[in-house]
Structure 1
């Protein structure tokens, strides 16, 4: 694949045909606001493009009309798509038209179809419609579907250059995704030949896909969109987990009758439930109608979920789980940059037990697994790395949450990462009554004073008023049950501080996200005094107000501490690491901000965009501070 270099250059003289397509394309796409890209096109296609300066502006030759057009990003994508249809799929240029009027009822659509491929040179019968101008998946598919219904074509494609979706119109308003378009000599049966696991494409934007499905296929399905999409994600994970790279996948649609396809996919779901029995009940079934199931399954069938970008999956789950309900409970998914900073600062090691008593989708646990794998296991145990990961996750990582949906998500995320699902429990961390007389092993495996590390972002909205819960916490008595009356109401985040401290062993360490008021409000003095007595405060990182947008603008900080050992005295002179997160993870709208150099997104070693925050630098500064203070978990050898 061609990756543009960072270049600086001026327009050639009028009428000059540009000899270096790479330089031109780089100039067109250098603006970071451009949402089209070039990921899916090979370098040889870009070399075939023809550019010329006309009237002081860069133009590109249209292969379908043999005319010059302004070289905007979407026009470059259109010409590359025309080349793809001709070179890869074998459609003659004479059968391809651009800017085709589409009749909608008695009038024509305001916007013309970007590309239409016809069955014959006379261009009488449309065969394929392609949408390239709308860069966002949801907008592009809505536009494409309207054109496919209006023209009666069975095949269509949305392409923005970074990603592509290929569709087959099964019937009006019911569309099925394919892994490619048919070539000029092929039928639907040819396209629907089984894919191997190795042929699955990377997952780039699951949230947009889910949003589109909710607004179309699932809008009137009468089922929980979260439950049914999650069942299918779960089923597909199992299918990929069981397959070698050269094995054909079973999670796919075919040309068989809809009911037969439903039975096959439902059977695959039951096999997944048997293999991983603690996520769904064995009596559960896929609840979608066969027709709706085919549409939803087809949207996932071409993508690889195992080893996928966890940020992509996180964003989809965050969207699917009702934001209003989460907001009422003060639950907000922790941005991955914050998670990575906390994990890096605490430096989990293979022999240490880690718990998140408000684990949500499992982000802290997943990244603890990744940290230990990359830093300690990968080089030492290269030959049996997967087994070592499995053993570590199964014996050292623990998560708790009271939301059944989030418990399922956490188990799935750990399945994707390395399988720590057996240590995720559904229980209210604050209500100790729920911990008694259980049959899931919670009491024996999660005991107070046994954890080396706690990483957590507890709910920071809502209050606890039940006397049976409040009576179990010293902080409900302002830290002193012998001299103070119990409060009638306590915010949950305050009680979580004490609950976490109990779970930690003496000398254990914790990173916890808390509302800023706990650090500076006058009426929270007793919380700070109690904490200084119980733990050494190692650091405080003030997070940017945009961190949890669009769900809340609450100002938060990360508190890093180490639980004192019995008999250890307090020392007010102990230095505390202080930092302010000045470069936000997100903008005011809650969209992630990415680093850009010379107009190009900066990419990490895995080809993922790097978030434009300063949290990794803050983690590095904390590590230097920890070593200077001779903190045991960050020695010079670490």
Structure 2
């Protein structure tokens, strides 16, 4: 039997096993096979509506991110859908694979499919808005991005590894987006239109001349006023350095890029009938798959599993406590006022994960046309999402990533140091999601005296004044409780203080920190600065700058590729408002996050404890919460 035939037979066997699992183990009736956009799936229905859709991928082993996205889209467009649950499995066994719920109160990855008897009476009743999805287009896009990356990588262009290749590709995507907004763009006055130049036939015919014309186009476009961002103070920040250029040199490289990008509308994809962030989803999956971590250099993408958990927990709270916050407008200016920030954004992973949550909420708004929802979404993105990073390539990738998710002029700034930059206004953000860089040995007064001095602005008469816009953790209390300057401090401690400064009262911070900050006795003053001091008689915390909502311990493997040996957790804080009091803290331990590291590479395992942890958090306080170990 030929290999394709064996693979097809294997998928058929697994699909049959999954159908049996649903029918015998979970007691679903009449699971039937269906073909959706060329993919053979199985569907369990209830009252005619799809409850569970099963998809068996081509690859064996744990379900890869690209396959997860494909399965989600298949579940969205199944007849009568979206399906309540989507199950992508490579074994057909209960408890294996990737499970996603399209139920309106979820729309996220979940840990299990409920038994038929556990379904609520109305779990499949009533019409639901049908998400716009195109699994065929997504699969094609993913293949095109992967193939393009591999072809360019194999062409021996003068680039410094996979990350640099992606950065150069981003510059070409930038040019394509500029062309779509300005079809009359001419790199040289009275010269040919860029639309004529950036075409595979022209490039192959004109060779080196075409390469020079494309490089000239980038040189001209990057300097245009529209690619100059303004920070919160109204100052100008250019997206590109004045001497930045595209490194690719071979005509065939540009021809292949033009060929791939020419088949897609990047700036207004909704006009072509494609889900308006499907291109962004495909690009993001490619970026995560091709990104090379630079051990010890602080350049590392926060794993999607961690990003998803942090974003889902905080949006659960935001929407439960103030469902109108995401779209609320300022009464005077009329502008949307929900603001999200990542001061160490890298490729903008946290920002785009939060953007997807905002998209879900706006898509559910009643009384708005599709065009009105799109305009509102664009407005929230443009006014409400900001990031910064010190690496020019990461800033570029972050901006392109956000642009492909619906924010064409993403406010991502290049800064020397996110701890000291003044591009962000104190007390102006509702949500900060971040994974700041770690530094062995900490930040010392010898090397960063001015920086540490700025982190003592709130110290008055030997104690923190606890002003919302103040900073105090450049100092610590001595044996008598008098706060004095520190000689060195873990940057994670400073980032906690800095992020709280940037949050509005009631604003939320989710930050990855070394476990030592949470457990070490010498850092107790930090915990007391955040939570206040506990009154042993009443059990209440007195003082403090924030309410600690949750602590989730992560396994050591989570950031092993980055060269960070310290064990980490993510910490969820809410900046105090008058009357806020510290309550019980949700605490959990994740032993698995969906991957392992072998021979300095990530290897998917499919075991992700964060899914159940998020579900437990959403379910509310329980007596079985676990305490993270150091």
**Deviations along 1:217-269, whole A, 9 cap, x unmatched?**
225899964553332233345457789xxxx9975422412034325544664
Q: Structure 1 pair 538/28, CA: closer, same or farther in 2 (3 Å)?
A: closer
Pick closer, same or farther for the CA change 1:408–1:489 going to 2, 3 Å: same
CA distance in 2, matches of 1:336, 1:613: 11
Cα distance, 1:531 vs structure 2: 1.4
CA distance in 2, matches of 1:281, 1:423: 16
CA pair 365-242 structure 1, distance change in 2 beyond 3 A: farther
C-alpha change, 1:402 and 1:29, in structure 2 (3 Å) is: closer
- CA distance in 1 between counterparts of 2:622 and 2:504 reads 22
| In structure 1, distance between residues paired with 2:62 and 2:345 | 34
Separation in structure 2 between the aligned mates of residue 199 and residue 457 of structure 1, nearest angstrom? 29
Q: Does the CA-based 8 Å contact 1:217-1:296 persist in structure 2?
A: no
Q: 1:258 aligns with which of 164, 184, 207?
A: 207
Q: Deviations over 1:424-463 (max 9, x none)?
A: 222245553x42xxxxxx3xxx311121111111112243
Identify the residue that residue 335 of structure 1 maps to in structure 2. 303
What stretches of structure 1 of length at least 5 have no aligned partner?
A: 10-21, 39-197, 436-441, 596-611, 629-638
- In structure 2, distance between residues paired with 1:557 and 1:583: 13
Counterpart residue number, 2:350? 364
CA distance in 2, matches of 1:587, 1:407: 28
2:540 matched to which residue of 1?
none
2:358 is the alignment partner of 1:398:
no
Q: Which residue of 2 aligns with 1:145?
A: none
For the Cα contact (< 8 Å) 1:207–1:315, is it kept in 2? no
Shift in alpha-carbon separation, 1:240–1:509, aligned structure 2, 3 A = same
Q: 1:291 to 1:420 in 2, by over 3 A?
A: closer
Asked whether 1:231 is paired with 2:171, we answer yes
Shift of 1:8: 4.9
**TM score, norm. by length of structure 1:** 0.57
CA offsets, 1:294-353, max 9 Å, x none? Answer: 47636855886733425424326732xx714xx23x342111121121111111523421
Aligned length, in residue pairs: 418
CA contact (8 A) 1:240 1:249 kept: no
Q: Does 1:563 align with 2:575?
A: yes
Contact 2:301 2:347 in 1 (8 A): yes
Match of 1:376 among 358, 362, 367: 362
Matched residue, 1:143: none
Whole-Å separation in 1 of the counterparts to 2:175 and 2:57:
42
Corresponding residue number in structure 1 for 2:450: 468
The alpha-carbon deviation at position 488 of structure 1 amounts to 1.9
Cα distance, 1:32 vs structure 2: 2.7
In the TM superposition, residue 622 of structure 1 has moved relative to its aligned partner by 1.4
Aligned to 1:458: 436
- Please tell me whether residue 297 in structure 1 is matched to residue 257 in structure 2: yes
**Alignment map for 1:294-443 (pairs within 5 Å):** 294=254, 297=257, 300-301=260-261, 306-315=279-288, 318-319=291-292, 323-324=294-295, 327-328=296-297, 330-347=298-315, 349-351=326-328, 352-380=338-366, 381-384=368-371, 385-419=373-407, 421-432=409-420, 434-435=421-422, 442=423
Query: Match of 1:593?
Result: 604
In structure 2, do the counterparts of structure 1 residues 420 and 357 end up closer, same or farther at CA, with 3 Å as the change threshold? farther
Map of 1:542 onto structure 2: 553
Q: CA deviation at 1:557?
A: 0.7
CA apart distance, 1:544? 2.2
- How far does the alpha carbon of each residue in 1:507-545 deviate from its partner, in whole angstroms, 9 at most, with x for none? 111111111111112222122111112111111111122
Cα distance in 2 between the residues matched to 1:220 and 1:501: 39
Q: Is the 8 Å Cα contact of residues 474 and 489 (structure 2) preserved in structure 1?
A: yes
Partners of 2:345 and 2:416 in 1: CA distance: 11
**SS of alignment partner, residue 6 of structure 1:** helix
Which one has the largest radius of gyration?
1
CA contact (8 A) 1:334 1:363 kept: yes
Task: Go from structure 1 to structure 2 and tell me whether the alpha carbon gap of 1:412 and 1:428 turns closer, same or farther (over 3 Å shift).
Answer: same
Check conservation: 1:251, 1:301, Cα contact below 8 A: no
Q: Matches of 1:199 and 1:417 in 2, distance apart?
A: 14
Q: Does 1:6 align with 2:5?
A: no
Q: Offset of 1:356 from its aligned partner?
A: 1.2
Secondary structure of 2:302's aligned partner: coil
Q: How far, CA to CA, are the matches of 1:221 and 1:455 in structure 2?
A: 30
CA distance in 2, matches of 1:539, 1:221: 40
CA RMSD of aligned residues (A): 4.3
Q: Is the 8 A contact 2:197 2:210 kept in 1?
A: no
**Residue 616 (structure 2) pairs with residue 621 (structure 1):** yes
**Distance in 1 of aligned mates of 2:350 and 2:254:** 34
Residue 515 of structure 2 is matched in structure 1 by 516
Say whether the 8 Å CA contact 1:217–1:292 is kept in structure 2. no
Name 2:476's counterpart in structure 1. 478
2:568 and 2:280 map into 1 onto residues whose CA distance is 31
Alpha-carbon distance in 1 for matches of 2:386, 2:57: 49
Cα 1:588–1:453, aligned 2, differ >3 Å: closer, same or farther? same
- SS of residue matched to 1:323: coil
What's the secondary structure of 1:585's corresponding residue? Answer: strand
CA–CA distance in structure 1, aligned partners of residues 288 and 167 of structure 2? 16
Cα pair 2:200 2:256 within 8 Å, conserved: no
Q: 1:161: which partner in 2?
A: none
**Contact 2:513/2:570 (8 A) holds in 1:** yes
Supply the distance in 2 between the matched residues of 1:594 and 1:241 (Cα, whole angstroms): 43
Question: Counterpart of 1:475 in 2: which secondary structure?
Answer: coil
Are 1:288 and 2:242 an aligned pair? no
Residue 203 of structure 1 aligns to a residue whose secondary structure is helix
**Deviation of 1:586 (Å):** 1.2
| Change beyond 3 A, Cα 1:542–1:266 | same
Alpha-carbon distance in structure 2 between the residues aligned to 1:8 and 1:567: 56
Gaps of 5+ in 2: 19-39, 42-54, 68-136, 184-194, 229-237, 267-278, 319-325, 329-337, 456-471, 532-543, 624-630
